[in-house]
Amino acid sequence: MNSEPGIRPDLGDEPPDLRYAAYARNRLANMPPPADAEAFALAYHLLQLSYLLVTDLETRIHRPRGLTLAGFRLMFKLWLLGPTQPVRLAEISAMSRSAVTNVVNTLERGGLVERRPVPDDGRAVVVALTPEGEAAVREAFAEQARREREWFACLGPDERERMTALLSRILRARPADL
Amino acid sequence: MNSEPGIRPDLGDEPPDLRYAAYARNRLANMPPPADAEAFALAYHLLQLSYLLVTDLETRIHRPRGLTLAGFRLMFKLWLLGPTQPVRLAEISAMSRSAVTNVVNTLERGGLVERRPVPDDGRAVVVALTPEGEAAVREAFAEQARREREWFACLGPDERERMTALLSRILRARPADL
DNA sequence: TGAAGATCGTTATGGCCATAACAACTTTCA
DNA sequence: TGAAAGTTGTTATGGCCATAACGATCTTCA
């Protein structure tokens, strides 16, 4: 499995989460169905990477600037899309409307976004970046882009594209009854 | 890009999150560095898939059984590893110790795990599954394994393996200063 | 031996997110 | 036209997770 000859292929130098993953995969390989070692490994590595990336971006980039990752992601959407209704933001984020309310509340307290009434519909509001919010998202975006490059620098351009394509395929084939 | 001939390859049938992703990628492609449309697309699809998968497993499998995904994942580790110290669980989960305390509290209230003192060390405890906890993790595991298979059924076995290998590579190359 | 430092688990505080219930408003259609 | 049904945003409640600070305990080493 490990391909370095002359070096003992043990796992002593692996991070604890990868050591655990390898151990769990081996245990599952000896269990009867529906246990599925390959599906487990894929799901585990996917969730673990996502978790580490989120935590890294949050603690290293956004928290020091007084933002959160959720707040940044919402502001980034507003930056690209312009003023947008919460229900629309919830839709493209696959998030609940109340989650959007919470994030917008936090951003509004910080003066980064504002709510505006919609003339044609008394129920609706749009969320819009303030000038301070636009400056904040622009700066945080540059730093996040640099950090993402670092994370994926270990893959070649073709590998990055293949990976994105595989992820897209799974997303497109998502179970209908989400 | 789209491969069905005779059908207009527009995005009208895409879920809103993928429509947004495609739009954002195009916008980023026209921005100067450090903007990086490929790194953005990879990170976005990775986080989105992880989020949808987590939400799906949580709402469809674990919540109906009175569990949470975090609780299940902790119990699953105990199932494989046996009684384990919180500090060890935090390590392999790349989580804070206080997060482990919280999850263990919830599980302990439900009678699924118990804390036991460690004779040799007055500070330490181990967390262990109760018989009820063992039954719960066994049943939930079977259902989660089936659901994970469904999610990844759109990939061939070789594609699943390649994807797991790419994810592992990124995880192994994670920035040292996490 | 004993004081300084490290480690373990917990608590407090605060943000994110979900579901459920609700008020306000809009749309539908008999 | 007017009542029923649907939509929008918010609130309440509760779980997860982080950081910071803390008491208790263990280890180190002068």
How many CB atoms are located within 10 Å of the residue B84 CB? Answer: 18
Each domain of chain B, given as residue ranges in start order, spans 10-65, 72-170
Residues of A in contact with B2 (CB under 8 A): none
CA-based nearest distance A123→chain B, Å? 22
pTM of the model: 0.92
Query: Is-contact A140 A72, C-beta < 8 A?
Result: yes
Query: Is-contact A78 A113, C-beta < 8 A?
Result: yes
Q: pLDDT tens per residue, chain A (178 residues)?
A: 433 344 444 446 789 999 999 999 999 999 999 999 999 999 999 999 999 999 999 999 999 999 999 999 999 999 999 999 999 999 999 999 999 999 999 999 999 999 999 999 999 999 999 999 999 999 999 999 999 999 999 999 999 999 999 999 999 999 887 7
> H helices within chain A, ranges in order?
16-29, 37-57, 69-81, 86-93, 97-109, 131-152, 157-172
Which numeric CATH code is attached to A72-170?
1.10.10.10
Segment B114-137, tens digit of pLDDT: 999 999 999 999 999 999 999 999
Distance A164 CA to C9 C1' (A): 41
- Distance of CA A131 to CAs B31, B42, B174, Å? 20, 29, 35
* Tokens encoding B44: 């976005």
Name the nt closest to B127 by C-alpha to C1': C9
Query: Is-contact B145 A34, C-beta < 8 A?
Result: yes
CA-based nearest distance B71→chain A, Å? 15
Residue A112 DSSP code: S
Q: Is A149 on the interface with B (CB under 8 A)?
A: yes
